[in-house]
Structure 1
């Protein structure tokens, strides 16, 4: 391994100053799970790693804002979110998803900001947070800006973040009892990388779907909103199997699905046709048991 500098700043401002917008070999490091794997694989040979473990503790806290939004510090551990009473009570979709994300060892060290910044298209949190309308606060040398999570990823391992910017906070609007489900289809263990992930959040009007937020992950180079499927679901009743089937077919037709080691493009397309409708039904069924649904491996 090539020697590198390990910097341990005490503040987020100091950490940002240690980054270089022109140097891809200087990297920030939260939990370090992805960075260490990339270094072991030889795809990352940093000259400097900027550890974020010693910055202000406010960036590792979870709270509720004045308008009821969930405020998550960018350095909050995934395990902290998983066990947070606030998250369990108000955002069951997040709580349920986190329990099946990677494994306990990773969740104990990985941070939410690092998870989103890594931009692996197979990750579970980006589609789930996107379906909830979450946004991130990004801090850099010129101040702060806010970006919807849905717009954060731009391609494989690529985001709108500049090299000298960090995710300081994740803000999630209230789930407010809306039916929601994340259907994660894996070929092995439930915590494995998904062949397909479908996140659904519904706004109901009586027995009908007033609005639907449908985001798919692991099928393309970034989490993608299925606008055609959302349009078909608008005004539909979940008991209408024909509409659910058409929504799944429309979602599959909308995407240029990419095959990988977790499944061929045709396999993922078929999964989407089936699991979109299943996600809608499971979201509504979960309301009766006061929870959020998750589907394991298929």
Structure 2
């Protein structure tokens, strides 16, 4: 590991000023759980790291706004989010999902903004927050902008962030009668990288789906909406046969890639099976599984 500068700004504006849109050797670092592994592996050799751990406390706050939306500071740790009573009460799928991310040592230091900015297609939060309709607030040298989480990831480790932009807040809209579940299928333990992640957010009217968002992760280069399955399910009475058909349609229509966590064929099979389970779990109150 070659020597590098490590700077610790006390204000967000200072942190942004130390970054550059054109200098890939200067990187922001929040919890450092991913970037340090990349540096040890020799994949990343930065000349300067800009720490975000000491910026203003307002960027570590969790609050419910007057409109019922959840506002999460970008420098909030995953462990703080896991324990948040506001999240447990209003967005229980989030609280349950945080418990399955890596291990408690990582969750104690990893921050939500850095988690999303990393752009790893195997992470759990991008598909979950996409299904919940979340947005991120991004700060750059020319001010702030908002971007839906569904538009943040562009490909493998590629996001819509410029090199001098930081995620300062995540905004999750109120559930408004919707229910949700996230199924994380792993090859080893529940907190491992997922072979397949599937987030379902549904709204029921009697025995029919009035609305649904079905997002798959860890099988494609970015969180992907299963629009063909949604079109098949919405407005129809739920049945095992219909859910099976929706799972098969979703798997058939998706360009899935093989990786160290499973072959494309295996992931297609998992998707065809778990889509129905995720929808049933969301309809039934949101309990999820880690398999």
| TM-score between both structures, scaled by the size of structure 1 | 0.96
Equivalent residue for 1:295?
Answer: 289
Structure 1 residues 154-163 or 275-284, which shifts more?
A: 275-284
Alignment correspondent of 1:277: 276
1:17 matched to 2:17:
yes
Alignment of 1:141-220 (within 5 A): 141-220=141-220
Q: Distance in 1 between matches of 2:170 and 2:106?
A: 20
- State the SS of the aligned residue for 2:170: strand
- What is residue 248 of structure 1 aligned with on the other side? 247
1:252 and 1:272 in contact (8 A); partners too: yes
Contiguous gaps of at least 5 residues in structure 1: none
CA shift digits 1:138-170 (9 cap, x unpaired): 010011111100110000000000000000100
Map 1:254-269 → 2, pairs under 5 A:
254-269=253-268
> Where does the alignment leave 5 or more consecutive residues of structure 2 unmatched?
none
How far apart, CA to CA, are the structure 2 residues paired with 1:135 and 1:293? Answer: 24
Aligned 8 A contact 2:177 2:203 in 1 = no
Contact 2:136 2:148 in 1 (8 A): yes
Deviates more, 1:68-77 or 1:204-213: 204-213
CA positional deviation for 1:254:
2.0
Task: Report what 2:31 is aligned to.
Answer: 31
**1:234 to 2:228 alignment:** no
Superposed CA deviations along residues 198-243 of structure 1, whole A, max 9, x for unmatched, are 00000111221001100000000011011101111101223x1121
User: Runs of at least 4 residues of structure 1 off by over 2 A?
Assistant: none
1:72 has 2:72 as partner: yes
Query: What whole-Å deviation, never above 9, does each CA across 1:6-45 have from its counterpart, x for those lacking one?
Result: 0101111100000011111100000010111000000011
**Cα offset, 1:295, TM superposition:** 1.4
Q: What is the rounded CA distance, in whole Å, between the counterparts of 1:53 and 1:101 in structure 2?
A: 20
Match of 1:52 in 2: 52
3-state SS, counterpart of residue 34 of structure 2: helix
CA distance in structure 1 between the partners assigned to 2:4 and 2:147 by the alignment: 32
CA distance in 2, matches of 1:162, 1:250: 36
TM-score (norm 2): 0.98
Distance in 2 (CA, whole Å) between partners of 1:65 and 1:106 is 28
Structure 1: how far apart are the matches of 2:233 and 2:150? 20
Which residue number in structure 2 is paired with residue 111 of structure 1?
Answer: 111
CA distance in 2, matches of 1:85, 1:202: 23
| SS of residue matched to 1:63 | strand
The residue number in structure 1 matching 2:43 is 43
Contact 1:249 / 1:273 at 8 angstroms: preserved in 2?
A: yes
Q: Quick one: distance in 2 between partners of 1:247 and 1:235?
A: 13
Q: Output the CA distance in 2 between the equivalents of 1:258 and 1:207.
A: 35
